Amino acid sequence: MTNHSETTGSFENGDTPNAAKPGRVDAAPCESPGDEHQVTLRTPAELADALPYLLGYRPEDSIVLAALRDRDGRGRFGGRARLGIPANPDDWAGAAGQLVHGLVHGSEQRGARPEQMVAYLCQEPGPGETGRDVMERLRPLAQTLRVECGALDVPVVEALCISAGRFWSYCCDEEACCPAAGLPMGLPGTSVLAAAATYAGIQVRGSLRELRARMLPRQTAAVDGQAAALDAAATTLVSRILDADGRSEVARETLETAERVMRRLAEAPPVSGVPAEDLRDDQLLGDEEAAALILGLQDRTTRDRAAAWMEGDEAAAAMRLWRALARRCVVPYGEHAAAPLTLAGWVAWSTGDELEAREALAMALGADPDYLFARLLHQACNEGLDPESIRRCLREGRKADAHTEGRAKNDEGHGGAPVERGSAEPSSAELSSAAPSSAAPSSAELSSAAPSSAGQPGRRRRSRALAPAHGVRRRTRARTHEPSAGIVRPRTPSEGGRPGSTRPGRARPDASGTAATGRQGPLPEGTRTGERGTDGDSEGS
């Protein structure tokens, strides 16, 4: 399966009377912090209309579960979990069990076990199909979900299929309210719930496909030019990065180039619409610049320094740059997108956009299931932890770097030897405070987990090796006509930093819902896992 799963939203974003009977549930997914504004959902139509507001986007080709629990005699929405519908029906039972057990057991660990469940199946018709055909084809999947929930004593009070602009209930067979032809969905934004959600500041970000499109490699005539630029940059940078002094110089050049491009992006005139914004950013970033940045960010110390651009005006420009770089990771450099995607996920999380953070981190894990930094951030975000602890580590690292730079300049000015700068990586105690200990890697994992990989156009290969004693790991990318072209993964701290600024430390929050195999299990209650993708590969921390 190439499934994708996540949950979004808070655990207490709805308050409703308990369902009067199976097939009906009253729910209010929109409320103010003081419970002053509530919307009651009593019918399948209202529940169908509520789905985008529960998730923050319109799900596609998805199984969605929304947990309900009792609070003061009223039902309340709990965690949500989403999983892509497997193409092969033989996989439905496994996917349903994975999703249900993940949501229920995860909720139990948080002390909020679901008492009821609402299930959604969302899929558009294929060639020659109608919405009703989709509903009938997915009926066994709906039944499997109900059986899995029932086995855990969590009844499904409503199961809906949404397809072709209509919805059907699997729990109600009354022709008067749930006809066999289905009922039309309301126009987006016209319901009472939509008005209440707008008032409460809840936004629907479009579809998941639209969000992902901003960070997927571009498919244009310029792909060959970007691939050639990446090949050329890899050829020239490999030998330099393998050398300690050269690695420091590459790190400095990478950060300086990134700052220069960020200033260019920030000064660009505004345009209207997301596609136009991304196109403008693509035009402002040259192929050679993009290639140098993509390869330079494969050095984890350089990447962690760049992660300090996480607040204020820096964050907006950095987010645009990381998205643009992810779009430039064309075949056969798809694996390298893990670094800019992880940085994009971190900036989004740091600035409060958990939806894009989860998606970017899931895509990073799709590009490289073993990318440790993405796994750590992913679980921290899924666990609902406060990113401030990570920001604090990065700020302290920048201060330490500024102090070290000052000492180095002072020593050099007096003819002394330059001061060697070390990595400002958080201690294991700091990492433990950022995420649950069950997901925290050992110190050995943090110091050595960085796979190497090699690939050719149209074919990818992976290999894993422990870091050598001197701390340098290699990751090469060979092409048939350039067997030596590759990407290097330095393991030791690199020198150089942002000109006129301080250096961020290495923040390694424990955040992962992703196993080393890349298979994503649904993580409940505000969690999402990465996708075991077909569009990416692997990298180290």
Task: Determine, yes or no, domain membership for 451.
Answer: no
Residue 461 lies in a domain: no
> Roughly how many angstroms between the first and final C-alpha of the chain, as a whole number?
25
Question: Which of 109-118, 185-194, 252-261 has the least mean pLDDT?
Answer: 185-194
CA dist 494 → 245, 248, 296, 342, 476 (Å): 9, 5, 11, 20, 19
Q: Is the pLDDT of residue 75 over 70?
A: no
State whether 227 and 100 are in the same domain: no
3-state secondary structure of 70: strand
User: Do both 171 and 295 map to the same domain?
Assistant: no
Instruction: Summarize the confidence of residues 106-123 as an average pLDDT.
Output: 91
Tokens of residue 25, six digits: 């549930």
Structural domain contains residue 477? no
One domain, residues 304 and 348? yes
Largest CA distance in the chain: 90
Q: Are residues 238 and 189 in the same domain?
A: no
- The HSE-up count of residue 90 (CA atoms within 13 Å, CB side) is 1
Query: Does residue 272 sit in the same domain as residue 387?
Result: yes
Q: Taking 80 as the threshold, does the pLDDT of residue 540 lie above it?
A: no
243-273 burial, b if ≥16 CB within 10 A, otherwise e? eeebbbebbbbbbebbbebbeebeeeeeeee
Average pLDDT over residues 154-170: 95
Q: What is the pLDDT of residue 227?
A: 95
Tell me if the bond preceding 184 is cis, omega within 30° of 0.
Answer: no
Mean pLDDT, rounded, for 152-178:
92
Do residue 181 and residue 264 come from a single domain? Answer: no
- Same domain flag for 271 and 372: yes
**Structural domain count of the chain:** 2
Model confidence band, residue 206 (pLDDT cutoffs 50, 70, 90):
confident
Alpha-carbon gap, residue 81 to 528, rounded angstroms:
7
Residue 107 domain-assigned (yes or no): yes
Count of Cβ atoms closer than 10 Å to residue 100 Cβ: 30
Is pLDDT above 80 for 530?
no
Given 357, 384, 405, which residue is the final one in a domain?
405
Predicted confidence (pLDDT) at residue 240 exceeds the cutoff of 90: no
1 vs 267 pLDDT, higher one? 267
338-350 helix and 354-367 helix, angle to the nearest 10 degrees: 160
Q: What is the mean pLDDT of the chain?
A: 73
Flag the least confident range among 26-35, 93-102, 113-122, 306-315: 26-35
CATH of the domain at 356: 1.25.40
| Residue where the block lists tokens 């996989």 | 91
Instruction: Please say if the pLDDT value at position 4 is more than 70.
Output: no
What share of the chain has pLDDT > 90, as a percent?
Answer: 45
- pLDDT over threshold 50, residue 178: yes
By 3-state DSSP, what share of the chain in percent is helix, strand and coil, each rounded to 5? 45, 15, 45
Strand pairing class (5-6; 528-529)? antiparallel
At residue 162, the 3 state secondary structure works out as strand
- Per-residue pLDDT tens digits for 321-373: 999 999 999 999 999 999 999 999 999 999 999 889 999 999 999 999 999 99
Of 203, 228, 259, the domain-final residue:
203
3-state secondary structure of 257: helix
Q: Do 193 and 314 have their domain in common?
A: no
Residue 501 has pLDDT above 70, yes or no: no
What mean pLDDT do residues 467-493 have? 35
Residue 488 in domain: no
24 in a domain, yes or no?
Answer: no
Question: Is the pLDDT higher at 27 or at 397?
Answer: 397
**Residue 48 belongs to a domain:** yes
Top-ranked range on mean pLDDT: pick from 138-152, 445-459, 524-538: 138-152
Distance CA 485, CA 473 (A): 15
Q: Which of 185, 203, 221 is the last residue of a domain?
A: 203
Q: Is residue 398 situated within a structural domain? A: yes
Cα 178 from Cα 54, distance rounded (Å):
23
* Residue 536 binned pLDDT confidence (cut-offs 50, 70, 90): very low
Residues 107 and 251 in one domain: no
Note whether 193 and 241 are same-domain residues.
no
Report, as an integer, the average pLDDT of 37-54.
Answer: 79
Percent of the chain with pLDDT over 70: 65
Contact 331, 217 (CB under 8 A): yes
Q: Report the 10 Å Cβ neighbour count for 144.
A: 19
| Unique residue bearing structure tokens 């110390």 | 301
Phi, psi of 418 (to 5 degrees): -60, 150
Question: In the beta sheet, which residues pair with residue 459?
Answer: 456
Rounded Cα distance between 196 and 537, Å, is: 42
Give residue 371's domain range: 211-405
Q: Are strands 452-456 and 459-463 parallel, antiparallel or unpaired?
A: antiparallel
Residues 154 and 238 in one domain: no
**197 shares a domain with 274:** no
Assess whether pLDDT exceeds 50 at residue 493: no
How crowded is residue 391: how many other Cβ atoms within 10 Å of its Cβ? 18
> How far apart, in whole angstroms, are the C-alpha atoms of residue 200 and residue 473?
49
Q: Show the tokens assigned to 505.
A: 């430390």
**Residue 455 pLDDT > 60, yes or no?**
no
Per residue in 391-429, pLDDT (tens digit) is 998 888 777 776 666 665 565 554 444 433 444 444 333
Q: Is the pLDDT of residue 101 over 90?
A: yes
Residue 175: is its pLDDT beyond 60?
yes
Give the range among 97-111, 174-188, 472-486 with minimum mean pLDDT.
472-486
Reported pTM: 0.65
